[in-house]
Amino acid sequence: MKRKSFNAAILFAAVLISSLANGADVELKKNDHICLVGNALCERMQHHNYWESLLHQRFPELELSVRNLGFPGDEPYERIRSENFGNPEQHLSHSKASVVMYFFGFNESFDGDAGLSKFSSDIKKLVNETKTSDFGNGTPQIILVSPIAFENTGDPNLPDGREHNARLNKYTAALASAANETGVAFVDVFTPTLSLFEESDERLTLNGAHLNDKGYAQLAPLLDTALFGKGGPAIPDPAVKAAVDDKNFHWWHRYRAVNGFSIYGSRGKAGSDGTYNNTDVMERERAILDQMTANRDARIWAVASGKQTDSPVDDSNTLPFINPKTNVGGPDDPNAKRGKLGSLDYLTAEEQLELFELHDGFQIQLVASEEQFPELANPVALNFDNKGRLWVATMESYPHWKPKSKMDDKILIFEDLDQDGDADKCIVFAGGLHQPTGFELGNGGAYIAEQPDILFMKDTNGDDMADTKVRKLFGFDSADSHHGIAAFEWGPGGNLYFEEGTFKYSQVESPYGLTRLSEAGIWKYHPKSEKFGVFVNFAFANPWGHVFDHWGQNFIGDASPGNSYWAAPLSGRIDYPLKHPGGSQHRRIAKTTGGDPSYKFPTFYPKRTRPLAGCAIVSSRHFPPEMQGNFLVTNCIGDRSVLNHKVMEDGAGFKGEEVAPIVSCKDGNFRPVDLQIAPDGSLYIVDWHNALIGHLQHNLREPNRDHSHGRIWRVTHKTRPLIEPAKIDGESIPKLLELLKLPEDRTRYRAKRELAARDTAKVISALKDWTSKLDKTDENYTHHLLESLWLHQTHNVINQTLLKELLSAKDHRARAAATRVLSFWLDDIPDHKQLLEKCIADEHPRVRLEGVRAVSFLSGDEAIELALGVLEHDVDDYTQFTLDETMRRLEQ
Amino acid sequence: MRHVALCFLLATVHLSSSMGQDHVHGDGSTNNSSTKIEAPKVFLDKSPRIVAYQLKRLDNQRLLMVERRADDAKYIPVYQAILTRTGMSPQYRLESIGSLANLQKSDPVVVVLSAIDQLDATKREQQRTAGQLTRILLDIKSEQLQSQTSTLLAATQSENAFVASAATAALLVSGQYDNRTDELTTSQAGKIAFLKAITMLPDAKRRDIFRPRVVELLESSSDARISNAAIRALGYIQSEGTDSFARLATLLSDDQLRIEVIRTMLKVPAKQRDAEASLKTASFLVDLAERTPAEKRTSATFIDAMQLADQLMAVVPSEQAKSFRERLKAVTVRVIRIKTVEEEMRYDIPYFAVEAGESVQIVLENHDLMPHNLVITAPEALKEVAQLGLQVGPNKGWKNLPYVPESDKVIQATGMVPADQQTSLTFKAPSTPGEYPYVCTFPQHWYRMYGVMVVVNDLDDWQKNPTEPANPVGSNRSFVQAWKVDDLKNELASGVLGRSPEIGKRLFAEASCGGCHKMHGEGGVIGPELTDVFPRWKGDRVGILREILEPSHKVDAKYVMQRILTVDGRTVTGVLLGEDDEKVTLLSNPEAKQPTVIPQDDIEAMVPSSVSMMPKALLDQYTKDEVFEVMAYLENAASNPKP
C-alpha cells in the first residue's frame, strides 16, 4: 500500500500553524479546544499521554486545551451510554470544542465490504453535522484519524492480522475519501503503523488490535508528523507528560465518573438530605473536577514553555464542596425500621466474636480486622494465591473517590506466618486504586476491576508489590460503583468470567470485534486467545456471585433481589439489544430487550431472604460428607448470615433446599459479602463491616458511611482435621497435574490457574502423558479426563479425540460438560453439527439442554433444524426456555 | 337484535380451495410496513410437535408468509394454525377451511368443528375466535350442512361444550330439526347445547321456530343450569315476548335464576311488558332493593335489577310508581346504564328521562374496541361542546379530563373509558327541564355517538306519555336496515346507474366518510384515499361494498388499529404512523392535529387489532337508493372531475 503524502508546512510560525492534509488544512489557533472523539484508540490515549505531550511541546504558546471524549466501541452513530450521560453534542459543547478529532473505523471494519458504504455515509453525515455546529467556539475544525494497523504479534493464539489489515485498509481509504468529499482534514495512521509493526522487534499492542504503552509512545510522533509535518519535538518531555497525566487523571474522573447513574441518572434524585440530593452533591464535585482540569491546562502550558513549576497546582479557586446532612438515626429512620441499619457504635472484633452463632460442630475466629491492619477498610472480595495466601480488595473510598483526596483503594496480601489461622502481616500489593469491586489472580498477576477498565497488575521483582499496571480490558460502563465488575471466576476451561449490574451500557473491543451489553450480564474473556464476549445476557440487578461445581455446571447469585440461578439456560447466545427474559430488572426494559415482561426465570431454590452478595460451593474434606456440594450464600441485610443450601439434580437442572446456616451474627454491622474455601479446607468470610448498607438509601456523601472498618473471619470444624494445603506455586507441571485428582474444587482451581500460566507446549506434552497413564478403573477416571479436556481448553488447544470420548462418556455430567466445551470450539470442530445432533438426542435432559444452548452460537436454518430436534424428547421448563431463547437468537 | 346483525355473512359464499383473489381493505396495495420481513422456514416434514412449535412462534404476519399450497398435505398444519389463530382476518380463515377440506378430503363442516375443538374455552381471546368460527359454520349453505348431518350429530355429543352447541346450532340452521328438537335434547348436555345453540342462530325467525321447545324445557326443568340456559335463550327469541315476560316474572323469586331472569326481562321490548307482571316485578324489585345490603348495591347484578325496576315504573300505575320511587330513593340512587355497541360507534340507549334536581347515576360500559366517554351538554350544545373538545384534545380539559372542554355548556362528563371497562357518574340532574344531549367527545365520534337525557319535572307523568326527543345533531335519519352484502349485491350493477354525483357527494359527507377518507384530495388521512378506489379494485363493486359494510373483513396492515397499553395504565389507540427505538407515533383519530407520540419506555404492550378502525353500520340509516348513490359516487370519482 502506498503511503499517502502530506504537504505539511508551517505557515505562520507564531500564532497560526497549519498543515495540508489531503487537501484540507489543519490550523491550530491560540486557545483552541481540541476534543478527541471515537473508539478505544482514542480513549486510551489519555492514559498514555505521549502524543498530547508532543502537541503542547510543539505549540506551547497556543495554550491548547485537550479533552478526550473517547469511549471504546463508539461508532459515528452508535454510542450506547447509561441514562442521561449526555449526547455527543452536549459533551462537545461542555468542552467548547473548536477542533474535533474523530477516531473511527476499527470496530466498523469487522463488517468488511458489506459495511463500507454505511460507514462512509455515516462518517460524511457526522462530519457535515459537526461542520454546521457551534460548540461555543465558532465553527469547529474537523480531523478524521484513520484506524491503526493490526499487529501480527506472532502469538499463535491471536489473529495474524492479514484479514484485519485488508479490511482496515479499505476503511482507511473510505475515511480519506470522506474527508476529501467533505473538505476536512484526514490523517492516515494506518499506513505508518503497518510499517511500524513490521519493523518493530518489540510488541506494541496488547492483543494485536490495541496499542500498549510502548505502542502509544511510537504512535505519538507518527500522529504529530501526520498532523503538523516534520519538525516537531522528537520525544516527550517527562515533565510535560507528568503534567498532562495529572490533567487527564482529573478529566477522566469527571467525564467517565463512576456512579453516573447516581449523579446524572435517575438515582441522582435519591440520597436527599432534605436539601441536597445526589445530583446536587456530585455534580458539584464534577464542576470542581472541571476547574481542577482547567488549572492543570495552565500548568501544562507553563511546563511546556519551560517555566519552573515545582509547587503543587493551586486549586484554591474551585467551588466549595456540598456536604449533605446524615439521614441516619432519628425515630423515623426507614432503614432502621426495615432492619437494614447496623449500629454507629461499632463493636470491637473481640466483642463481635461473642455474637456469632455457628452451625453444629463449627467454630469461628478472626483472621484480620482494621484494629490490627488499618489498611483493611471496607473489604469487598477475597481470593487465595498459589502460595496459599489470602488476598483482599478494599474500597476505603466507597462509594466514590472525592476530588482533592488521595485515591487509594487497595489490593492486600495477608500472610499467616505461624499457620494459626490469623494474619500476621499485611502487604499492599496495589494501592492508588478506585473501587476495585472484584479481582482474580492468574498469569503471574492480578486482574482488578477498576471501572470502566479491568487492570492487569503484576509484581515483577518479587517484593509482592505490583510494579506494572496495564489497562487490559476497557469500555465497561461506570454508571454505578456497586454494580461494577464483580465476582471474577475462572471457568474450568480457562475463561475468566466477571459480572456487571444493571443501568450499565458497555462497549468492549477485542481483536475479534466489538461486544455491546446493556443492563447487566456476565462477561467471558479467554486470556490466551483474547476472545471476549458476553456469557450471560440477562437483566440482573447487581450479580455478585458466580461459582462452578465439580462437573463445571455454574450457578449465579444476583445480589439485590437475592436470586440464585442455574447458569446453563441463561448462557446461550443472544446479542445486544436483546436479552434473555426473566431477570429482576427485565420488566423495566423488556420493550427493548424482548421477551414477556411478566416472565420470571426460576431461581433454583425458593428465595427466603435478600440479598446475596457472594456464593461458594462446599468442596472440602474438612467439612462433613453430608455438606459436600452445598451452596453457600452471604446475606448481609436480611439475616447477617452465611446461608446454606443442599443441591440436588432435578431433570435437566438442579434444585436446592435451605438447611441450617453456617454462621450468623447478632452484630448488625456484620456484613458478609464474599467467601471462599481456603487451601486448608476452612471457610473464609469477608465482613464489609459497616452500619450503613445500600447504595441508594443514603447520599453518596452521607457522613455516616464508614471508611475504616473491615474484618475477615474464618470458620473451621471443631473436630475434623484441616487439609494439608497443596503445594502449587512453582511446582513442576507433572506434580500440578496430579493435583487435578484431588476432590477439592478450589485446589484444582488453583492448580489449573498455575498451569494456565505455564508454557503451552510443555503443559500439553505433560498432559498427554498424564492422560494416557490415568487409571481407567479409578472411579474418578472420567472426571480426570474431563480435567484434561478443560486444561486443553485453557491452553486453547483443540483435542477432538478427547472431546469425542467425553461426549460419549457414561456419566451424563461429563457429557454435559463436554458439550459445553464443544460450544466454545464450534469453529474448530468440522463435524460439530453431527456431534450436537447426538447431544440433542442424548438420553439425559441436561446434555440435550447443553446441546440446544450450543446451537445458539450457530446460525441459519440448519441450526434451527438442529435445535428443534430436542422436541422429539421430553422437554422440561429449563429446556423449553433454552430452546425458546436459542430460537430467538437464530431468528435475531 | 343488533347482535345478529354483527354476524358474518357467507351463506352463498362457496367454500372451496379457490377463494379467488381477495382484496385488501385500504389502498389495495400490499403490505406497507416499513421493515421488510423474510418468509420464515418451517420444517413441515418434521414431527407434528416441531411443526406446531415453529408455527406457534410466528406472529400472524409471518404465519401468513409461510408457503402454503392446497395440493400438498404437508401444509395442513399451516392452514390449521391460520384457522385457529386469534385476530386472523376472516378471509384467511375461509381460505384455510377450503384448503383443509381439500387436503384432508373432508368437508368444511368437519374442518370447522375440529378447529373449534382445538380452542381453549378458558381463554377470552380464543372464545372470540370460536365465536367467529361458529359464525362461519352457520353461514354454510343449508344443503351442505344437511349433507353432514351425521357428523354434526356426532359432534353434538362432544365433551367440548362449544363444539356441541355449534354443531347443534348447525343442525338447527339446516332446517331438519324444526319439528324434532326433542331428538337433540334427550340428555342434560344435549339440552344445554340446544339452548346455547339458540343464542348462536343468526336468523331471528329461525330462533322463533324453536320457542315452544325452549319453553317446554324451561317448564320441565328442575336443573338450574338448564333453566338458566333456557331463560337466556328466551332473551334471543323475539316472538311472544309478552308471554316470555310474564313467565319470567314468576321466576324472579328463585335465587338461582334471578340474575339471568332480570337480564332477559331487560331484553323484552317495553311494549311486550304486561302491566300485571310489570307491577308484580316492580314490587318485587323494590323489596329486593330494600333488603340488599348497602355494600352489594353497586354490583352489576343489582344495577341490572334497578335498571329493570326503573323501566317498569313507566308501566305501573303512577301512584304506585311514586311510592316505589320514594322507597327506592331511600336506599339507592337511580341508575341508568348505557353501553357502547361493539364496532358500531353508538350508545345502546338513544334517550332516557330523569327528574329535575334528582340524583342519578349513569354507568357507562364500553363494549367497543376503542375508548369512549360520555359528556352531557347543555341543550342544543352538543356540536359546540364536541368541537371544543376536539381542540382540547388528549390534554386535560374540564376537571382534567381529555377531550372535555372547559365550558359552562358541559354539565357532566366521564373520562375516556378503555375497551371492556366501565365507569360511573353520579350527579343531581339539572333543575331546568329540557333535552340535554350526551355525546362521546372523542374526535369525530359525535357524528354518530350521542343520545339525549330528557330532564322532566315529573318523571311518572313523562313516562305515562313519553315523547321522543329531537335528534340533537339535527339528523332526521333513523334506522333503516342492518345492510348486508347479500341484501344489495344482486341489484348493485343496475342500482348504480343514473345516480347523481352531487347527491353522492352530499351523502358521502353526511355519512361522515370524509372524516377519514380523502376524495379528490380533501378529507381525512386515517383511511386510504377513495378517489381511485374503483380502478384500484379493478371495478369490483361487491368487494368495495363489502369493505363498507364489513370493514373488518380484511384490514390492510397500514391501517390496522394499534392498541397501546402504557405502563401507567392508559390505553391509546390509533393508526401507526411510525415507530423507532425511542417512540411510537400514532394518529389516534381522524381529526387529530398532531400525531400522538408515546415513548417506548412508557409502553407496556402494543396490540394490533384485527378489527378495522372504520365503524360498521355506517349506512344503516340510509335507504337502498342512498347506498347506491354512494356507490355510484365512488365508482365515478376517478373518471369524473370533482363534482
Q: Is A868 near chain B, with CB under 8 Å?
A: yes
Question: In B, which residues are within 8 Å of A868 by CB distance?
Answer: 43, 46, 50, 53-54
C-beta separation of B557 from B33 below 8 A: yes
Let me know if residue A607 belongs to a domain: yes
Question: Are residues A503 and A407 both part of a single domain?
Answer: yes
Q: Which of residues 840-859 of A touch B (CB under 8 A)?
A: none
Q: Is A181 near chain B, with CB under 8 Å?
A: no
Percentage helix, strand, coil for chain A under 3-state DSSP, each rounded to 5:
35, 20, 45
Could you tell me the CA-to-CA distances from A415 to A385, A418, A510, B356 in Å, in that order?
Answer: 11, 9, 37, 93
Question: In A, which residues are within 8 Å of B56 by CB distance?
Answer: none
Question: Are residues A842 and A886 both part of a single domain?
Answer: yes
Q: CATH 2.30.30.100: does it fit domain B485-637?
A: yes
Output the pLDDT for position B590: 61
Let me know if residue A754 belongs to a domain: yes
Of A185, A211, A234, the residue at which a domain comes to its end is A234
Q: A65 has which bridge partners?
A: A33
C-beta separation of A457 from A409 below 8 A: no
pLDDT digits (tens, 9 = 90+) for B226-257: 999 999 999 999 999 999 999 999 999 999 99
Q: In this structure, which amino acid lies at residue B97? A: I
Output the pLDDT for position B4: 33
- Secondary structure of residue A34 in the 3-state scheme: strand
Least confident stretch, A2-16, A871-885, B447-461, B535-549? A2-16
A720 φψ region: left (φ > 0), alpha (ψ -120 to 50), beta (else) = beta
Output the pLDDT for position B636: 87
Question: Are residues A801 and A660 both part of a single domain?
Answer: no
Of A192, A215, A234, the residue at which a domain comes to its end is A234
Residues 6+ apart with CB under 8 A from A199: none
Q: Looking at residue B340, what DSSP letter applies?
A: B
Residues 6+ apart with CB under 8 A from A462: none
Question: Are residues A305 and A205 both part of a single domain?
Answer: no
Which of A591, A865, A872 is facing B47, going by the closest CB pair? A872
Cβ-Cβ pairs closer than 8 A, A with B, add up to 28
Question: Are residues A835 and A863 both part of a single domain?
Answer: yes
Give B129: exposed, middle or buried? Use CB within 10 Å, 0-12, 13-18, 19+: buried
**Residue ranges per structural domain of chain B:** 38-237, 333-464, 485-637
Question: Are residues A559 and A452 both part of a single domain?
Answer: yes
Pairwise CB contact (< 8 Å): B43 & A865: yes
Let me know if residue A636 belongs to a domain: yes
Which of B50, B53, B600 is facing A591, going by the closest CB pair? B600
Which of B46, B600, B604 is facing A868, going by the closest CB pair? B46
Confidence check: pLDDT of B353 > 80: yes
Q: Which of residues 579-618 of A touch B (CB under 8 A)?
A: 591-592, 597
Question: Are residues A384 and A468 both part of a single domain?
Answer: yes
Question: Are residues A360 and A264 both part of a single domain?
Answer: no
Pull the grid cell for residue B74. 404437508
Least confident stretch, A448-457, B47-56, B295-304? B295-304
Pairwise CB contact (< 8 Å): A871 & B49: yes
Q: How far apart are CA B255 and CA B245, in angstroms?
A: 18
Give B55: exposed, middle or buried? Use CB within 10 Å, 0-12, 13-18, 19+: buried
Closest CA to B596 of B610, B613, B626, B576: B576
CATH code, domain carrying A737: 1.25.10.10
pLDDT averaged over 10-residue windows placed end to end, chain A, 892 residues? 33 33 67 98 98 97 98 98 96 98 98 97 97 96 97 96 98 97 95 96 97 98 93 94 98 97 93 90 97 98 91 95 90 85 95 98 98 98 98 97 97 95 97 98 98 98 97 97 95 98 97 98 97 98 97 97 97 97 94 91 95 96 98 95 98 97 97 98 98 92 96 98 97 98 98 98 98 97 98 98 98 98 97 98 98 97 96 97 97 86
Question: Are residues A320 and A444 both part of a single domain?
Answer: no
Let me know if residue A698 belongs to a domain: yes
Element (H, E) at A253: helix A238-255
Q: In this structure, which amino acid lies at residue B252? A: L
CATH code, domain carrying A627: 2.120.10.30
Let me know if residue A6 belongs to a domain: no
Let me know if residue A727 belongs to a domain: no
Question: Are residues A881 and A742 both part of a single domain?
Answer: yes
C-alpha R_g of chain B: 26
Q: Is B428 near chain A, with CB under 8 Å?
A: no
Q: B455 has which bridge partners?
A: B354, B434
Question: In B, which residues are within 8 Å of A592 by CB distance?
Answer: 581, 600
What is the fold of B333-464? Immunoglobulin-like (2.60.40)
Let me know if residue A440 belongs to a domain: yes
* Residue numbers of the domain that contains A73: 17-234
Q: How far apart are CA A259 and CA A400, in angstroms?
A: 7
Output the pLDDT for position A547: 98
Confidence check: pLDDT of B9 > 50: no
Question: Are residues A705 and A765 both part of a single domain?
Answer: no
Pairwise CB contact (< 8 Å): B581 & A592: yes
Closest CA to B369 of B85, B607, B27, B71: B607
Q: Please count the structural domains in chain A.
A: 4
Pairwise CB contact (< 8 Å): B54 & A868: yes
Mean predicted lDDT score pLDDT of chain B: 84
Pairwise CB contact (< 8 Å): A864 & B41: yes
Of A288, A305, A325, the residue at which a domain comes to its end is A325
